[in-house]
Structure 1
Amino acid sequence: MSLSVKENLLGEHIERELSARNPRLLHWFRTVELPRIAGLFIPLFQKWSMEYAGSGVAGTILAISCCAAIRKLDPGRISRPLFCISIEDALVKLMNLSHSLVSLDKLHHLASEAGFEEDFLLHFGRKVLPCKNTEDIEFWVGLVRKKLSAAFYRESVFTHRHMFHNKVQENSLATFGLFAYLGRETRLYLSGMGIKDLDKQTKDFLSYLECGSLVIYPELSTLSEYQLFMEVVTDEIGWLHFYPVVGFEWCQDRRRSKQRMIQAEKEIVLYKVLTACYDVISGFAHYSHSRKQPMDSNLLEFLLHCQSLLATCMKDYWAAYDEIGEPQKLVERSVSEPKYLVAEHSSKDWIKRGKDQYGPRVNNEAISSAVENEITVGNSGPASPIKPSDENFLQKSSRKVISASANVWMGTQLLFIDMLDVVGLLKKQLRGCKMTEREKKKIKKTLVDFATLVPVIILMLLPVSAVGHAAMLAAIKKYMPCLIPSPYTSERLGLVKQIKRIKKMELQRRSSIQDASTRLVV
């Protein structure tokens, strides 16, 4: 009843505004627009009423459609801010109510028919994890793969279309995009929580999760190609959130000085991160198994290695946590709940199923390596970086200057790549080709980055020392982040560092394999 009153007020407001501008507009609205809208919704409403008779689904979906349509209006044209807020609240309540009436996949189908799919994704995309229902995880995996597959073709991510020999490889690349997005979200979440000193096992896992696809596909090995790949992925599924947007309250409290308390809080965050990664990997395993879809050998190799690295991280994490002695009950509870711990037998069963199902297509070397890693896991705990206590001010300053210089050079490379991409897009537009929304945003963002670079260059030309330049950059990043062009932000620089790290990991892996084969021959 409250929503109906608001809709009547809105209708009167629309008619009053149209009549004030031109009486013909009001006549057009009543005789043309309202019948057109009714012609679209009445058949759908009748269809929903028959399919979900007596459940209230039809009325709820219709109310959500009305609220979503009002949200698309320009806020400046609505003179009542409280009215906009009440519509937002009503939309949230109706979304939650609709989910209690129908399953998530059916609700998405209804949202697509009614025209508020974007609102559906923005609302439920924040509630993907934690999830107690395996079917919901499978739904999100399938939806993301479908959207990414369509986006890769629409955006022409790959110029060599022959790399898609069949639908299996196309779906595999979309799955790589899902896990790359998970790795990116995890990296940004940990950075936002102020956690940077991770152990080597966790760094290796997160690097492989975000950038492991460029090892599988050589077409993604260059920085420009992989950056385009990630831009399309984040633009297409940016509504998907695996972690809460707002961090814990203790992250904003910088007055704490007890190192033991800070370490305990860090362990809580890592526990959440590893659990989320395991839920997504296991959810994809359930999705592939339930739909009996064939899996590409490259994807299976990637998943096996991810499983091995994640098992190493979780086992080392719990082994180190158990040595403290106090959280023993938490460890026992996690062991009893397989959802929160990758058990050794479950990983081996997964590998065994991969062997039986996919046979010779699977890289035997990767499988044997994954098994060996699981058997030897847990022998050594995570090593903490040792910081020399006798570092003087000059050493710290020189290290900061070197790090800042490297970041400036990497950011300049990214800006140069962006400018080349913009030139290519402008040439595409001159040839008469239609640009996508992502490409338009890319041009606008790059031009803004180039404009904001001017004041930063002026500051860098001031006659101060290198330490002073580094201090000015740090101050700008902290107090005026809008002045920093996006290629110089930690979000994009972190991707470059992850790419370099994964390439280094791949070289080390190949060298270790060659050494092992040499020892076997001898």
Structure 2
Amino acid sequence: MGEGTVLSELRNRLHKFSQAAVYSLLQAASEISSQSDGRDRNVNVFVQKSLLRLSAPLESLIREKLSAKHPEAYEWFWSEQVPAAVTSFVNKLEGDGRFTAAIALSGKNMGLSSASDISLLLLALICIAAIAKLGPSRVSCSQFFSMITEITSSLMDMLVGLIPVSQSYNSIKNIGLHREFLVHFGPRAASCRAKEKWGSEEVVFWVNLAQKQLQQAIDKEKIWSRLTTSESIEVLEKDLAVFGFFIALGRSTRSFLLTNGFDTLDDPIEDFIRYLIGGSILYYPQLSSISSYQLYVEVVCEELDWLPFYPGITSVTKQSHMHRSKQEGPPNAEAVRQAFDVCSHWMQSFIKYSTWLESPSNVKAAEFLSTGHKKLMECMEELGMIRDRALETEAKKAVLRRRSTVQSTIKESGSFDEALKSVEETVIRLEKLLQELHVSSSSSGKEHLKAACSDLEKIRKLWKEAEFLEASFRAKADSLQEKMEIFSSF
């Protein structure tokens, strides 16, 4: 027997063992779901059917191979080996730390039936995560892997139906299906603006998740190391994450409009999209280096490839492909309205829900968004879209909700500005007083003067921080005031 034949035989045996192990694992999980107290409940039935359906092609393949090559072992394998393996897996699953921890986390403040449903769904997903690590080459069953994505998605859908999406994400991430979760629920994140039933809490979750994902990617690639600024690494990473999100949005928007027949864009639209894509350079000019900017764009767009801002369009889609696939005939005017709707949703979501923008340190990102939203509103007004009935209705609601907030914000901003001026005047007076004292003081009083100077320096630092806070605060106030002025005529 040649070396190639030996390797082939060894590979076949490994595949056979892997197939049998995967089959036994799925049978064990199915057995647990059928033995639970709520075995007739919808979730139990759904989990059991899903696992049996997934194991069916493996069972057929194993039976076929055993019958053809080892008929003498057929009965022994199914009557002794498989039951023993299933029992072993049942014991392991019931003692799995991830499984019990997931049950404890998800079952908090819930009824026993809900906790049982959640634990069964997580059990099935844990099994799938373990199988996915083996990979298609080890299991060697194409039909099995063609089904696994669909079944994983349906199990995650049912889990999100029982607990909030943020809690589902944490549980699924912990068992190793982080990427699968993002790819499956990316379209849901993109459509949050149209689904009020999901509430603002889910929008907050997606905003924070996107920010953290981008921050981690930027840190991994050390994008911040290409910039020489006074900001800390953490501030740079957060700023670049916010800018990066809107670079991806801008690129997707351009591609979306191109596929809808817009070879060229009117000036206001083009200016707005250009600001989304290149606005970061206005705040961090060192990004204008071609190599730095190209790396930055690649990192943020690849990191957000799970989030389809527009159906069928991603921020990494090649422009040449867009030209080939663009629609024939005149441009679709409705596409511009849809693009502005998407951009408005994400800009407002970041302005309202990003906790990073509340920090004085991230004033650049706050100013970028405030200016960007102003450009968007001006663009919509110039194109006559601000009077659209749907927008008008929504705008009126927004005005009513925020009128008192805007007025109090502007009032506080004004008083805050006056307070800053008062601090500035006090600092100047203190400086003059210290200078006079320095001239007239004896050597014995110099120590007191040094202490006073140190206190003065602390006051200066606090004053600078207050200026940063005021800039961010005023940017939000201006944005709200502009909205109120635009819509107050409705």
1:360 to 458, 467, 475: 467
TM-score for both structures, normalised by structure 2: 0.59
Q: Tell me how far apart the structure 2 counterparts of residues 97 and 191 of structure 1 sit (CA, whole Å).
A: 37
In structure 2, the CA distance between the partners of 1:343 and 1:180, relative to structure 1 (3 Å rule), is farther
- Aligned-residue offset at 1:111: 1.0
Q: Tell me how far apart the structure 2 counterparts of residues 176 and 342 of structure 1 sit (CA, whole Å).
A: 28
Q: Tell me how far apart the structure 2 counterparts of residues 228 and 8 of structure 1 sit (CA, whole Å).
A: 43
Q: Deviations over 1:179-228 (max 9, x none)?
A: 21111211122222222332212211111111100111122011111000
- Aligned-residue offset at 1:71: 5.4
Equivalences for 1:173-188 in 2 at 5 Å?
173-188=240-255
* Secondary structure, counterpart of 2:96 in structure 1: helix
Equivalences for 1:66-465 in 2 at 5 Å?
66-70=127-131, 73-74=135-136, 78-79=140-141, 81=143, 83-131=144-192, 132=196, 133-160=199-226, 163=229, 164-165=231-232, 167-245=234-312, 254=328, 262=330, 265-266=332-333, 268-288=334-354, 293-317=359-383, 319=384, 329-330=389-390, 332-338=392-398, 360-361=467-468
- Aligned-residue offset at 1:118: 0.7
Stretch deviating more after TM superposition (9-18 or 54-63):
9-18
- Aligned-residue offset at 1:76: 9.9
Which stretches in structure 2 are left out of the alignment for 5+ residues? Answer: 1-47, 315-324, 418-464
Contact 1:172–1:295 at 8 Å: present in 2 too? no
Contact 1:60–1:94 at 8 Å: present in 2 too? yes
Q: Deviations over 1:264-294 (max 9, x none)?
A: x41x211211111111111112223599555
Q: Tell me how far apart the structure 2 counterparts of residues 231 and 40 of structure 1 sit (CA, whole Å).
A: 43
Equivalences for 1:45-84 in 2 at 5 Å?
45-51=99-105, 52=107, 53-55=112-114, 56-70=117-131, 73-74=135-136, 78-79=140-141, 81=143, 83-84=144-145
What one-letter code is carried by the residue in structure 2 that aligns with 1:38? K
* Secondary structure, counterpart of 1:195 in structure 2: coil
Q: Tell me how far apart the structure 2 counterparts of residues 162 and 155 of structure 1 sit (CA, whole Å).
A: 16
* Secondary structure, counterpart of 1:54 in structure 2: helix
For residue 13 of structure 2, what is the aligned residue in structure 1? none
Q: Tell me how far apart the structure 2 counterparts of residues 344 and 194 of structure 1 sit (CA, whole Å).
A: 39
For residue 5 of structure 1, what is the aligned residue in structure 2? 52
Q: Tell me how far apart the structure 1 counterparts of residues 240 and 313 of structure 2 sit (CA, whole Å).
A: 31
Q: Deviations over 1:461-487 (max 9, x none)?
A: xxxxxxxxxxxxxxxxxxxxxxxxxxx
Q: Tell me how far apart the structure 2 counterparts of residues 178 and 162 of structure 1 sit (CA, whole Å).
A: 22
Contact 1:314–1:342 at 8 Å: present in 2 too? no
Q: Tell me how far apart the structure 2 counterparts of residues 216 and 190 of structure 1 sit (CA, whole Å).
A: 27
- Aligned-residue offset at 1:60: 1.0
Q: Tell me how far apart the structure 2 counterparts of residues 208 and 298 of structure 1 sit (CA, whole Å).
A: 14
Contact 2:129–2:175 at 8 Å: present in 1 too? no
Q: Tell me how far apart the structure 2 counterparts of residues 61 and 69 of structure 1 sit (CA, whole Å).
A: 12
Larger radius of gyration: 2
- The structure that is helix-richer by fraction is 2
Q: Tell me how far apart the structure 1 counterparts of residues 161 and 253 of structure 2 sit (CA, whole Å).
A: 30
Q: Tell me how far apart the structure 2 counterparts of residues 288 and 253 of structure 1 sit (CA, whole Å).
A: 37
What one-letter code is carried by the residue in structure 2 that aligns with 1:303? L
Q: Tell me how far apart the structure 2 counterparts of residues 367 and 177 of structure 1 sit (CA, whole Å).
A: 20
Provide the aligned C-alpha RMSD in A. Answer: 4.6
Q: Deviations over 1:40-80 (max 9, x none)?
A: 97222222223324211111122233345555632796445
Q: Tell me how far apart the structure 1 counterparts of residues 404 and 265 of structure 2 sit (CA, whole Å).
A: 27
Contact 1:304–1:367 at 8 Å: present in 2 too? yes
For residue 456 of structure 1, what is the aligned residue in structure 2? none
In structure 2, the CA distance between the partners of 1:107 and 1:18, relative to structure 1 (3 Å rule), is farther
- Aligned-residue offset at 1:333: 3.5
Contact 2:218–2:237 at 8 Å: present in 1 too? no
- Aligned-residue offset at 1:36: 12
Q: Tell me how far apart the structure 1 counterparts of residues 377 and 285 of structure 2 sit (CA, whole Å).
A: 27
Contact 1:177–1:230 at 8 Å: present in 2 too? yes
Contact 1:300–1:354 at 8 Å: present in 2 too? no
Q: Deviations over 1:321-343 (max 9, x none)?
A: 85xxxxx645643544549x999
What one-letter code is carried by the residue in structure 2 that aligns with 1:54? S
* Secondary structure, counterpart of 2:354 in structure 1: helix
Stretch deviating more after TM superposition (108-117 or 346-355):
346-355
TM-score for both structures, normalised by structure 1: 0.56
Equivalent residue pairs, number: 351
What one-letter code is carried by the residue in structure 1 that aligns with 2:238? N
Q: Deviations over 1:91-137 (max 9, x none)?
A: 22222111111111111100111110110010011221221322222
In structure 2, the CA distance between the partners of 1:301 and 1:350, relative to structure 1 (3 Å rule), is farther
Which stretches in structure 1 are left out of the alignment for 5+ residues? Answer: 257-261, 323-327, 379-522
Stretch deviating more after TM superposition (93-102 or 343-352):
343-352
Stretch deviating more after TM superposition (167-176 or 230-239):
167-176
* Secondary structure, counterpart of 2:252 in structure 1: helix
Q: Tell me how far apart the structure 1 counterparts of residues 410 and 260 of structure 2 sit (CA, whole Å).
A: 34
Q: Tell me how far apart the structure 1 counterparts of residues 300 and 225 of structure 2 sit (CA, whole Å).
A: 17
Q: Tell me how far apart the structure 1 counterparts of residues 276 and 408 of structure 2 sit (CA, whole Å).
A: 21
